[in-house]
């Protein structure tokens, strides 16, 4: 029998093994078992503090193993000294681990007597903690537990209803029920029924068609320039970047051509008009449009936007990135960190509006999002149900050959599941892909190659419950479960 003092050390590798549920591994059953063991430890803990330590240890294992790509960004491409990069990664992982720690603390503090209610409350607390992590300090929802179930798990069926945080709730509740199944004092079949019902319902929801095809299929080309991150902003490499994307675009006969985020590393007003006119003429010849990523500096002042510009048969349109990356694209607490702008002149972008409309391109309504933005599903649905397609443009070269780009691909798969729409991903070095409305990757370009991914995609109309209500269903379900938990606690006291 393992003594409690060793359980926090056991929780750490459990958290690390949980990463196998996420891309590029996609072993979605793994988190169910690792979380079940964590729940077992939580049940054996004797104080809220012990439960918090267990949650923190589990989180440190998961985040330390799962967000190692941040070190690559900071050290390999950001130039941060190794000790400083390691320290920054450690501090971030410690911060992220506070959320499962708080979930464990609250679960023990509630002191729920009824096992079934306890298992549902565990899921509600974890789901809410994942959501809270996505909004505090601009949010960092990477490795939200629900992503581990996209796209093949039966629990992925809940994406269109409850979103990724709702799947976190259901997954942890399932793990808690499994924990009860194998505990000696509760070992019986009654917990198998709700556990089976959860997974069977998810399987059934996978076969519900929430949206329907809209119009004819449209041909697309997603361009992958494969411009090395350490070369991207060098003045002597700008012409090479421009020529690479012009060649890939001019070789395409697709109606919709999409380049990655800031594919042309110049301000919009610095790009030769003849270059953009050539791209626009070619797009018109295809009876379509091209999306080009550039920096926008309206008025030539100190205001910068990370933007996508469209040219072609449709009127010219612009999308400005709204959700910026702290320190990478904007400077929080400028009174402390304002000096960063002097070192990295483009580290303080301005925000685009949250209420931007989908772009009308090639006969479709395209909800464009840039890089990190597709991590925030509740913001993506702001352009729906009007949008018929989703498009994410990114530069995951910052992640190198780590697991980061594959994790980002899985996040895009979840957005497709939540909205019932195709997701088009055009990235600098990969993973460039076409994802259908079921979250399945239909086509994928080989990473770290200069290529164009050609395909035909279907637009969709209609609203999933998640598009219609966003995270309100998550809050309602979580609130109901926690109210039941509190009432059951008082009921237990009354009986005594």
Q: Are 172 and 96 in contact (CB under 8 A)?
A: no
Of 107-121, 133-147, 325-339, least confident by mean pLDDT is 325-339
Spatial CA neighbour of 396 closest among 417, 367, 375 = 375
Angle, CA of 203, 205 and 211, to the nearest 5° = 140
Mean local confidence (pLDDT), 322-331: 75
Give the predicted TM-score (pTM) of the model. Answer: 0.93
Residues 6 or more apart whose CB falls under 8 angstroms from that of 405 comprise: 396, 399, 427, 429, 430, 431, 447
* Active-site hit among 108, 232, 321, 382: 321
Q: How many CB atoms lie within 10 A of CB 487?
A: 11
* Active-site hit among 7, 39, 93, 261: 261
Q: Are 435 and 416 in contact (CB under 8 A)?
A: yes
- CA end-to-end distance (rounded Å), the chain: 31
| Residue 414 CA, distance from chain mean position | 7
pLDDT attached to residue 241:
93
Please give the helix or strand (H or E) that residue 290 lies within, else none: strand 289-296
The pair of three-digit structure tokens given for residue 248, joined into one six-digit string: 């890939």
CA dist., res. 230 & res. 77, Å (int): 7
Q: Are 163 and 377 in contact (CB under 8 A)?
A: yes
| Residue 216: active-site member | no
When pLDDT is cut at 50, 70 and 90, the band that residue 230 belongs to is confident
Q: Is 83 exposed, middle or buried (0-12, 13-18, 19+ CB in 10 A)?
A: exposed
CA dist., res. 371 & res. 340, Å (int): 21
Spatial CA neighbour of 478 closest among 130, 209, 68, 187 = 130
Q: What are the Cα distances from residue 101, in Å, to 57, 98, 286?
A: 8, 5, 55
| Residue 254 CA, distance from chain mean position | 28
**Residue that has been written with the tokens 């295809």 in this structure:** 286
* Active-site hit among 39, 329, 371, 418: 371
Q: Where are the beta strands (DSSP E) in 126-236?
A: 212-224
Spatial CA neighbour of 435 closest among 450, 420, 451 = 420
Q: Are 348 and 297 in contact (CB under 8 A)?
A: no
| Residue 371: active-site member | yes
Please give the helix or strand (H or E) that residue 153 lies within, else none: none
pLDDT attached to residue 217:
97
| Residue 495: active-site member | no
Spatial CA neighbour of 441 closest among 424, 428, 427 = 424
- Looking at the predicted structure, is the pLDDT value of residue 19 above 80? yes
Q: Are 43 and 91 in contact (CB under 8 A)?
A: no
Residues 6 or more apart whose CB falls under 8 angstroms from that of 344 comprise: none
What pLDDT digit, counting tens, does each position of 99-124 carry?
Answer: 999 999 999 999 998 999 999 999 99
All structural domains of the chain, each given as residue ranges with its CATH number in brackets, are 4-209+470-495 (no CATH), 212-463 (3.60.110.10)
- State the average pLDDT for the chain: 91
Half-sphere exposure of 403 (CA within 13 A, CB side): 18
What pLDDT digit, counting tens, does each position of 150-208 carry?
Answer: 999 999 999 999 999 999 999 999 999 999 988 876 666 789 999 999 999 999 999 99
């Amino acid at each position: 029998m393992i003594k409690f003092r060793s359980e926090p050390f056991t929780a750490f590798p459990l958290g690390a093994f949980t990463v196998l549920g996420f891309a590029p591994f996609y072993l979605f059953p793994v988190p169910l078992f690792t979380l079940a063991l964590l729940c077992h430890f939580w049940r054996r803990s004797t104080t809220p503090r012990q439960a918090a330590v267990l949650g923190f240890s589990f989180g440190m294992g998961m985040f330390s193993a799962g967000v190692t790509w941040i070190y690559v960004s900071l050290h390999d491409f950001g130039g941060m000294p190794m000790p400083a990069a390691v320290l920054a990664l450690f501090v971030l992982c410690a911060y992220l681990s506070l959320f499962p720690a708080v979930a464990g603390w609250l679960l023990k503090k509630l002191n729920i007597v009824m096992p079934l209610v306890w298992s549902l409350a565990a899921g509600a607390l974890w789901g809410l903690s994942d959501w809270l992590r996505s909004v505090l300090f601009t949010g960092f929802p990477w490795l939200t537990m629900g992503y581990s179930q996209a796209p093949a798990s039966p629990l992925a069926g809940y994406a269109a209803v409850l979103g990724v945080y709702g799947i976190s709730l259901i997954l942890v509740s399932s793990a808690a029920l499994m924990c009860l199944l194998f505990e000696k004092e509760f070992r019986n079949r009654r917990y198998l029924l709700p556990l089976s019902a959860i997974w069977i319902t998810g399987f059934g929801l996978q076969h519900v068609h929430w949206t329907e095809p809209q119009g004819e299929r449209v041909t697309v080309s997603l361009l992958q320039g494969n411009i090395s991150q350490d070369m991207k902003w060098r003045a002597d490499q700008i012409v090479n970047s421009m020529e690479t994307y012009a060649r890939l675009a001019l070789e395409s006969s697709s109606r919709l051509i999409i380049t990655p985020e800031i594919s042309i590393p110049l301000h919009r007003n610095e790009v030769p008009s003849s270059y953009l006119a050539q791209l626009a003429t070619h797009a018109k010849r295809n009876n379509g449009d091209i999306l080009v990523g550039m920096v926008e500096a309206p008025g030539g002042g100190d205001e910068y936007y990370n933007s996508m510009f469209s040219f072609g048969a449709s009127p010219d349109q612009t999308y400005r990135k709204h959700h910026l990356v702290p320190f990478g694209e904007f400077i929080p607490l400028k009174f402390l960190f304002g000096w960063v702008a002097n070192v990295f002149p483009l580290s303080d972008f301005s925000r685009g509006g949250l209420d931007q409309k989908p772009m009308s391109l090639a006969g479709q309504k395209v909800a464009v999002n840039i890089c990190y933005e597709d991590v925030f599903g509740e913001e993506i649905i702001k352009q729906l149900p009007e949008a018929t397609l989703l498009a994410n443009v990114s530069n995951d070269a910052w992640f190198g050959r780590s697991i980061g780009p594959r994790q980002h691909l899985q996040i895009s798969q979840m957005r497709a599941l939540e909205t019932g729409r195709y997701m088009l991903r055009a990235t600098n070095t990969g993973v460039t892909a076409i994802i259908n409305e079921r979250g399945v990757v239909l086509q994928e370009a080989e990473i770290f190659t200069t290529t164009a991914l050609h395909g035909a995609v279907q637009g969709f109309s209609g609203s999933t419950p998640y598009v219609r209500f966003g995270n309100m269903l998550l809050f309602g379900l979580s609130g109901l479960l926690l109210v039941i938990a509190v009432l059951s606690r008082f009921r237990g006291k009354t009986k005594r």
